[in-house]
Structure 1
Amino acid sequence: MTSREQGVSTASPVTVVISRRVKKGCEDAFEHLSSKMTEAAAPFPGYMGTNMFRPSTDADPEYRIIFKFRSQEDLQNWQDSPERAEWLKGIECLLEAPSQIEVTSGLVTWFSMPGQNPVQPPPKYKMTFVSWLALCPMVTLIFWLFGDLLAQLPLVPRSILVTAVVMVLMSYVLMPRFSRWFAFWLFPKEKRDIR
């Protein structure tokens, strides 16, 4: 397997994009094993979800599987597990070539979906709009619920506290959901299979 790691931090969510070219006639078996492997990963600590994208055109014949873990350590626990090794044995024999793996982290992972570049995010205006849709109601709610308490804090501690809460909620709660809810607009591809 080929792995290209791009500045992965152990303190932030980690997205893994796996590109797999399946032998003709083996697609059903591959999809079945991939689903079972996803089920095996789900109970692992830090697992945040998986999306599978079928080949979109003859020019781009690869399946792409995107999954996320809360940290590099959680990802490593899954990668080192006997469960993963067992499922990989069945999957690898169905492939035309070794899997290609790309690991990334940071805010761009809010919008990680495949294209010709498997981790290419959608256009900036779409990311900005969807982020704003998540951010505006959340910030409004924080100030509505805790505004009086926050007003008693000096500016710098208040800013640190609010931005820390906002970033955690955006990364772990809101953006995974908003990216899925707006996938039809962010990633307008046919044959998208989001799990």
Structure 2
Amino acid sequence: MDASANRDRGGAGATVVTSQKVVAGYEEDYKRWQEQVNRAVRDFDGFEGTELYPPESEEDNQWVVVFRFAGLDQLSAWLRSGTRRELLHEGRELFEEEPSQEVLSGGEPAQQAVTAVVSHEVKPGRERDFVAWQDKTLKTQEKYPGFMGSELFAPVEGIQDRWVVVFRFDTREHLDQWLKSEARRKLLDEGRHYFATYDVREIASAFSGWFRFGKGEQAGVPPNWKQAMSVLLALYPTVMVLNLTVGRALTNAGVPGYLGLFISNVLSVGILTWVLMPMVVNRAFSFWLSPDRPRSRRVDVAGAAVVGLCYAVLIAIFGLTT
């Protein structure tokens, strides 16, 4: 997909990306609290889904949550609700500082591939200059390996007064290459004439390394729920076959269980990465997984049903053979 076209295309949906730095040692308490929030938000009109992204390192300890709604009005109702206010009050002791959020009205869901969400506090009267600077930045980004698209979101009146940019790369390595580049550093120096502060948050797909469709820099990945179903489809028979063959052979040879399990895990990851996912699952289910194919609820349901049927067949086969 052309990156500039991605910038211009809008949508009726609305997304809020919330970033919260959890106090060290309170991670499990935070997960339980976040589950309360997730249960509460499901009761609100227009709610479509949520994703939780843990921190990249223990030192960072910054958790990112994405909430998606059908429209801005429904999202606003959640953000301003007494339910959410009470939950934030209950969880205040879990955070080192006030959670921050970016509201994205329309555009693409910020959950595919590796996504960076950058919010800017634009100086009054410099909005046009800022937009022109963003266009210049986009033209530079397009030259970098793995760039998949960028979207610019204006402030949302009554909810947020910051400008937000969302851009995607196919891998974390390519994203980091851009974030640490000399070209970006020079652009940021120039951009400081137009914005006072900015903040960067990264969101990574859980299994994106196992999914590639298309060629070169525009290769993409399917939604996380399809990735999870597909990985399970390949992982289950791989683990079962290895347990029945390699696992038994290692046990009979006197290899300790913990070492045998490690060897089996190494083999299963290798088989998934270089054989089953790219050569079998991705090809067989490209009609359902490929992000470049037209999407419809009918195709989504049909693909999920076929995968579910494959689960049942595999369970029956291993049930009869073991």
TM class by shorter chain equals 0.5 to 0.7
Task: Assess, with a 3 A threshold, how the Cα gap between structure 1 residues 20 and 112 changes in structure 2: closer, same or farther.
Answer: farther
Using CA pairs below 8 Å that are at least 6 residues apart, which structure has the higher relative contact order? 1
| Structure 2 letter corresponding to 1:109 | P
Residues 115 and 169, structure 2, Cα contact 8 Å, conserved in 1: no
Cross-structure match for 2:176: none
How many percent of aligned residue pairs carry the same amino acid?
Answer: 22
Q: Give the Cα–Cα distance (whole angstroms) in 1 for the partners of residues 81 and 31 of structure 2.
A: 21
Aligned with residue 125 of structure 1, among 219, 238, 247: 219
Q: Provide the C-alpha distance between the structure 1 equivalents of 2:38 and 2:113, rounded to a whole number of angstroms.
A: 17
Q: CA deviation at 1:130?
A: 3.1
**How many residues matched?**
135
Report whether the alignment pairs 1:80 with 2:80: yes
Relative distance call for 1:29 and 1:54 in structure 2 (3 A) is same
CA-to-aligned-CA distance 1:137-190 (integer Å, 9 cap, x gap) = x6xxxxxxxxxxxxxxxxxxxxxxxxxxxxxx48xx95xx99xx9xxxxxxxxx
* Aligned alpha-carbon RMSD (Å): 3.4
Q: Show structure 1 runs of 4+ deviating over 6 A.
A: none
The CA distance in 2 between the partners of 1:66 and 1:111, in whole Å, is 8
SS at match of 2:19: strand
Aligned: 1:97 with 2:144:
no
1:21 touches 1:97 (CA, 8 Å); kept in 2?
yes
1:93, CA displacement in angstroms?
A: 2.2
Is the contact made by 2:17 and 2:102 (CA closer than 8 Å) also made in structure 1? yes
1:27 counterpart residue number: 27
Structure 1 pair 114–66 and aligned structure 2 pair: CA distance change class (3 A): farther
**In 1: Cα distance, 2:77 partner to 2:70 partner:** 11
Tell me, in whole angstroms, the C-alpha distance in 1 between the residues paired with 2:61 and 2:114: 12
1:34–1:59: structure 2 CA closer, same or farther, 3 Å change rule? Answer: same
Residues 78 and 13 of structure 1, relative CA distance in 2, 3 Å threshold: same
Listed as ranges, the matches of 1:134-149 within 5 Å are 135=294
Secondary structure of 1:33 counterpart: helix
| Cα pair 1:22 1:94 within 8 Å, conserved | yes
Gaps of 5+ in 1: 1-6, 139-168, 182-195
Contact 1:46 1:70 in 2 (8 A): yes
SS of corresponding position for 1:131: coil
Partner of 1:191: none
Give the aligned residue type for 1:19: S
Distance 1:66 1:110, change over 3 A: closer
Q: CA deviation at 1:132?
A: 2.0
- Per-residue deviation, 1:53: 1.1
For residues 130 and 110 of structure 1, do their structure 2 counterparts lie closer, same or farther at Cα, with a shift above 3 Å needed?
A: farther
Q: Which amino acid aligns with 1:121?
A: R
Shift of 1:108: 2.5
Q: Show the 5 A alignment for 1:10-49.
A: 12-49=12-49
Please give the per-residue CA displacement for 1:7-66, whole angstroms capped at 9, x wherever unaligned.
Answer: 9x8x61111111110011111111101111110000111000111111122464310001
- Counterpart secondary structure, 1:73: helix
Q: Which moved more, 1:96-105 or 1:36-45?
A: 96-105
Distance 1:114 1:34, change over 3 A: farther
| 8 A Cα contact 2:113 2:221, kept in partner | no
